[in-house]
Amino acid sequence: MSHPTPRAMSLSAAHIARVHRDVPDTGPPPGMDLHNDADYADWVSRMSQDAPPGPLRLFAYGSLIWKPEIDHTAETPAIAHGWHRSFCLRMIRFRATPDCPGLMMALDRGGSCRGVLYDLPNGALAPTLDRLFRREFTVKPINSMPQWITVGTPQGPATALAFAMNRASPAYTGRMSPGDQAKMLSRACGHWGSGAEYLLNTVTHLEARGIHDRTLWTLQRLVAAQIDALQ
């Protein structure tokens, strides 16, 4: 049986090397309100009360696919209707700096999103939620809102934990043109690396799983062109 020829990406490791900079972490900006231990405990309590019976399931759509940092016992292709990937979260740290802000991907309302459903180990709901929450959100008001959503799988619908964009957050950019997104992603870099690297990792790992996101595919081409145009 013949297999389709893999798509050739425009964005490459050579592009990433061109925009990478060694950036020190200066910490959160003055005045930024961060979640503390009591805040995380409150979120764990709230989400635990509404957790469905059975194993904890997590819907991954971006960096949780290529950098999950959590153990899982099974994974299944899944689709979330009513949500889509979007570089709509403005960043000034991690993969950006205050003087050169960047973007991070979030799950925003509308459309549909193909991703991966992880089954997480039984018997450790509270510590697992605590670890996930500390990974996914740090500032107040919250950017990535934890919530239970319904996703479709080959075995039928399932309830899963997902992290969705809080549109009330001041970091929410709203809808941006692909060109404006590409300008920011091609320039931003922080102590975790660049926005272009984040995009490359995401698109590469989605394609490896047979998930072709047309919007991200266009964006990686635009980012590559922006970097090629840099003097």
CATH number of the domain bearing residue 138: 3.10.490.10
For residues 34 and 28, what is the distance between their CA atoms, to the nearest angstrom?
Answer: 9
Question: Is residue 4 in some structural domain?
Answer: no
* Residue 5: predicted pLDDT: 46
Question: Which are the contacts of 98, defined by CB distance < 8 A and separation ≥ 6?
Answer: 29, 92
Quote the domain boundaries for residue 31. 13-229
Residue 3 pLDDT level (bands cut at 50, 70, 90):
very low
Question: Is residue 89 in some structural domain?
Answer: yes
Question: Is residue 8 in some structural domain?
Answer: no
Q: How many domains does the chain have?
A: 1
- DSSP, residue by residue, 48-95: HHTPPSSS-EEEE-SHHHH---S--SEEEEEEEEEEEEEEEEEESSSS
Question: Is residue 5 in some structural domain?
Answer: no
Residue 231 pLDDT level (bands cut at 50, 70, 90):
low
Q: Could you read off the pLDDT of 121-163 as tens digits, one per residue?
A: 887 889 999 999 999 999 999 999 999 999 999 999 999 999 9
In the 8-state DSSP scheme, what is residue 9? Answer: P
Say if pTM beats, i.e. exceeds, 0.85: yes
Question: Is residue 220 in some structural domain?
Answer: yes
For residue 191, is pLDDT > 50? yes
34 with 139: CB under 8 angstroms? yes
